[in-house]
Structure 1
Amino acid sequence: MSERPLRTLFCIGNNQNFFDLPKSEIRPIWEGTMEFLSALAALDGVDVIGTMDDDAHMVGPSTGWPWTAYVLADVRDQPTVREACNLLRTIMIGEHALWRYFAIEARMGRELVIRTDVETAS
């Protein structure tokens, strides 16, 4: 990546459509989720730093904070962030796009560098 990448937190939430499914129909959604995560990591200009799934403590729909899952990545630029979010529109689960079941929000900033060369006041 050239220049400084955007430190990006992709926030992902399950919506009510996901929870309305019978358990027997969740597997294709899980497979679509894995396709999304693989496609995100494979995007040119995306370097995934880590992921976090909060489904043990966040049960039920999440259309805002707190989200269900997070992906932290360094991303080349805003168009690439947009392309990553757009994956929810292009990955299909049967005749529905993945966004029928999940919401995504991207928070962009810069890496917060913790300096060790500066003395702190005691």
Structure 2
Amino acid sequence: MDLPKDGVTTADVWAAFVAMTDLIKRTPGVDFIGDLDDDVHMVGPSESWPWTCYLLADVDSQETVAACCDFLRTIRVGESDWKLWKYAKIEARVGRALVPRQPGVPR
């Protein structure tokens, strides 16, 4: 990580990340299913630098997804002035359940 020289540690970033996931889990409208970290089982370069993890949740609305993304903008890292967005990026995917289409029936 590109840690600044103002005393922020990897432990500070990790604590902020855990705080973010805890907030997501407690957000009304979020059914947190689980998380995955591909640092051990991914072979080849990551699509984004340098590591990727995934949070899977069933969420009631796009507005709730946006509220969860905002945690990155508000959670402070350690005692620094930096927020979590300095060290992590969210790419939220919003979709619907994959269901087989019936022939001749429009979506």
TM-score calculated relative to the size of structure 1:
0.66
Runs (5+) with no aligned partner, structure 1: 1-18, 115-122
The runs of 4+ residues in structure 1 deviating greater than 6 Å are 58-61
| Residues 33/61 of structure 1: CA separation in 2 closer, same or farther (3 Å cut) | farther
Provide the residue aligned with 1:92 in structure 2.
Answer: 76
Q: Look up the match of 2:97.
A: 111
CA offsets 1:1-43 (integer angstroms, 9 cap, x no match): xxxxxxxxxxxxxxxxxx2238x81000000010011001110
Number of paired residues? 93
Q: Cα distance 1:109–1:61, how it changes in 2: closer, same or farther (>3 A)?
A: closer
Q: Deviations over 1:45-95 (max 9, x none)?
A: 0001111011233778926xx960101111010110000111000101121
- The DSSP-based 3-state class of the residue aligned with 1:102 is coil
**Secondary structure class of the residue paired with 2:98:** coil
In the alignment, structure 1 residue 20 sits paired with structure 2 residue 13: no
The 3 A distance-change label for structure 1 pair 70 and 80 is same
Could you tell me which of 30, 42, 47 is aligned with 2:14? 30
**Which has the bigger relative contact order, CA under 8 A and spacing at least 6?**
1
Identity of aligned residues (%): 42
Q: Does residue 41 in structure 1 map to residue 41 in structure 2?
A: no
TM-score normalized with structure 2 length: 0.75
- Cα RMSD (Å): 2.7
